[in-house]
Structure 1
Amino acid sequence: MSKRLDKLREELARLQADAFITEKAENRFYLSGFTGSTAWVIVTAKDAFLVTDFRYVEQAQEQAQGFTVIDNERKAIDAIARVLKENGVKRLAFEGSSVSFQTYSDWNKAFEPVELVATSGLIEKIRMYKDESEMVIIREAVRIAEAAFEHIQGYIRPGVRESDVALELEYFMRKQGATGSAFDMIVASGPRGALPHGRASEKVIQAGEMVTLDFGAAYQGYNSDITRTLAVGEPDPKMKEIYEIVLQAQLAGLAALRPGVSGKEADAATRDIITAAGYGAAYGHSAGHGLGLEVHELPTLSTVSAFVLEPGMLVTMEPGIYISGLGGVRIEDDVWITENGHENLNKSTKELLILPV
């Protein structure tokens, strides 16, 4: 954690701020290792504090190594104010996107004369770069999801509900060590495949339909995110054609992922192929996003992304085509940017699987 605090302190020096405060769960965990549901992390130029309540003091002392743990004695705002005063904090950086106006108003009054400095994406930009310790966890999250995909191929058949598929996927991943699903699973069959975020419904899967599965495993705080589209019996020839277009677009997008490539260029590598095939209007989302403690984080791969890929970044690559009334196809992998190119964490086949009926 010390390297992460060092990077944060460099940012604080740049902002001419004396301290930083966060209550956001992902950023709190990233900086301290604390997994409880209630706490405030305060980092100064020399020290780090974790303010929490009686329920979590012992847990925090065990998890937040190097932090001074403070029992807020049921009034956190006063405990935070004391920390700021005792450490001579005059300018306090906070996360403008996650602090409500009411909280800001309360802090402004309670912390006076401390100046509150709003920041945007301060920790998220540090989190873009995954180290080896994080990648060990993320690789396991990917392995669990891949094993679940292999398992579910023997479960999907005509007559099974989408919701049953989602339940079976989550049950299997938990048995493999996941703490749960990374997000509400997408299981979209037949015409529902045209819904990019078609969460599992009570619809019954029919023979001849394509099924899009978008899911991931939550494991030790981190997430995986995989999408595969398969067929239950022989699909419509049009859907097979669309599948091949999406596959070629996804492979082209993967080939583009390397240091120095912008998010806009990576997106274009997929979009140019889909547009040339006549389906540009049916590809309405970005090519990918960052992945880690949150399922969607920085950097972005989109038509307007200004991010430039660098070693250590972890992104998804997930082009798709969606045709109302017919269905849709999306294929997604999790990719770590390396010094010489990238490492695709996913090994599951992307050739069209046609399950027997």
Structure 2
Amino acid sequence: MDRLRRVEVLRGALDGVADAMLLTKLVNVRWLTGFTGSAGMLLVGPRRLLLVTDGRYREQAEEQLGDVGVDAEIEITSSPAELLRSASSGWGTVALEADDVTWSMERQAATEWFPAAELVPTSGLVEELRAVKDGAELDRIAAAAAIADDALAGVASQLGNRPSEAEVATELEAAMRRAGAEGPAFETIVAAGPHSAQPHHHPGSRRIERGDLVVIDMGAMVDGYRSDMTRTFCIGEPSAEQRRLLDVVEAAHDAGVAAARPGARTADVDAAARSVVRAAGWAEHFVHPTGHGLGLEIHEPLRLSATSDATLAAGHAVTVEPGVYLPGLGGARLEDTLEITPGGNRALTRSSTVPIVG
């Protein structure tokens, strides 16, 4: 990953906005420098790149920035005021990440860190740069997706043996770690029977029984990059109503995937999936957006929703995940992670969508 190019792209984005920028959102610091510590700030000036962290990360910062070829000054301190004042001498404006800065941090920035500069709030500036992934980023998301695929393939056949939701979630996360993932991309969802009507059910002690619908939402993390996939299973032959539910969700998923291509409005992708559910009479039971962007975060700002005005482009990584949730019967969701390609899209998650477990 070409981190130096990213720094220059950010400097270009700051032209006309501010003389410099202080990044406090750690995932953005990581994207620019490779630094993965839990405390740090990155000051990006016209000709200066300064990482400020504390003594726990002295060696880690030097190693990680050196590994990716980022030539930045690294300063170790727990009281950065004097350092930031000196570094920003002569700058008239300094941008902050408004969505990440607390009130107290803004007060510090105004009175202690950059007292001679005007503070400029920005929202989503770095996130917009992160939205289009390079090949190395997409490779990591694909690797995470493959690990999740393999983990699910190894566990799905056990669903008919009456494991608890929590046991299935634990085994899926352990399988992903054994296959080389840093960990799960998020807390694994296993929702069985009536719980499957809850989109974000927390796995519990309920055992999976014959006749249950089971929603499994999972992903792996590789080098910080995340995958996201949902499959719905039926333990034994589905009833007529369960079969209809599964078929409608699959058709909505396929319509959303077909609409996801460069130049498509994200609202139109949502509409393509949602129209199938609406035609089935279940519009009020599709209660979340059709999808979202992902990468270093499981939910990145790109949203496939009715209220979004974004446009898909080659290099975007997004999910398509329609779901229908019927209290008393259960729910179903089918989700894939897609790379938007110049000619359409490519599914990075490739697990079978056959829903029946004997």
What does 1:61-140 align with in structure 2 at a 5 Å threshold?
A: 61-64=62-65, 65-85=69-89, 88-110=90-112, 111-140=114-143
Aligned equivalents of 1:342, 1:82: Cα separation in 2 = 48
- Paired-residue identity, %: 39
User: What is aligned with 1:13?
Assistant: 15
Q: Deviations over 1:158-208 (max 9, x none)?
A: 431100101000000000111111111111001111001112112111111
Aligned equivalents of 1:91, 1:62: Cα separation in 2 = 31
Aligned equivalents of 1:29, 1:66: Cα separation in 2 = 11
Aligned equivalents of 2:98, 2:282: Cα separation in 1 = 39
SS in 1 for 2:247: helix
- RMSD of Structure 2 on Structure 1 (CA): 1.2
Q: What is the aligned counterpart of 1:252 among 255, 263, 282? A: 255
SS in 1 for 2:160: coil
What does 1:301-340 align with in structure 2 at a 5 Å threshold?
A: 301-340=304-343
- Matched-pair contact (CA < 8 Å) for 1:47–1:67: no
The farther-off stretch of 200-209 and 259-268 is: 200-209
SS in 2 for 1:321: strand
Say if 1:207 and 1:158 are closer, same or farther in 2 by CA, change over 3 A.
Answer: farther
Aligned equivalents of 2:7, 2:74: Cα separation in 1 = 19
User: What is aligned with 1:179?
Assistant: 182
Aligned equivalents of 2:48, 2:265: Cα separation in 1 = 37
Q: Deviations over 1:14-50 (max 9, x none)?
A: 31x1111112121010011111111111111122111
Q: Deviations over 1:56-110 (max 9, x none)?
A: 122111212333333333212332222222xx32211111011000110111101
Q: Are residue 242 (structure 1) and residue 240 (structure 2) matched? A: no
Aligned equivalents of 1:346, 1:98: Cα separation in 2 = 31
Deviation at 1:307, TM superposition (A): 0.3
Q: Are residue 170 (structure 1) and residue 167 (structure 2) matched? A: no
User: What is aligned with 1:46?
Assistant: 47
SS in 2 for 1:260: coil
- Matched-pair contact (CA < 8 Å) for 1:48–1:66: no
Q: What is the aligned counterpart of 1:142 among 139, 142, 145? A: 145
Aligned equivalents of 2:353, 2:302: Cα separation in 1 = 25
Aligned equivalents of 1:145, 1:31: Cα separation in 2 = 27
User: What is aligned with 2:272?
Assistant: 269
What letter matches 1:80 in structure 2?
A: L
Aligned equivalents of 2:170, 2:92: Cα separation in 1 = 51
Deviation at 1:294, TM superposition (A): 0.5
Say if 1:90 and 1:67 are closer, same or farther in 2 by CA, change over 3 A.
Answer: farther
Q: TM-score, normalised by structure 1?
A: 0.96
SS in 1 for 2:50: strand
- Matched-pair contact (CA < 8 Å) for 1:52–1:69: no
What letter matches 1:109 in structure 2?
A: T
What does 1:195-206 align with in structure 2 at a 5 Å threshold?
A: 195-206=198-209
The farther-off stretch of 256-265 and 45-54 is: 45-54
- Matched-pair contact (CA < 8 Å) for 1:32–1:67: no
Aligned equivalents of 2:57, 2:88: Cα separation in 1 = 21
* Structure 1, gaps ≥5 residues long: none
Deviation at 1:141, TM superposition (A): 0.5
Aligned equivalents of 1:331, 1:36: Cα separation in 2 = 35
- Matched-pair contact (CA < 8 Å) for 1:57–1:69: no
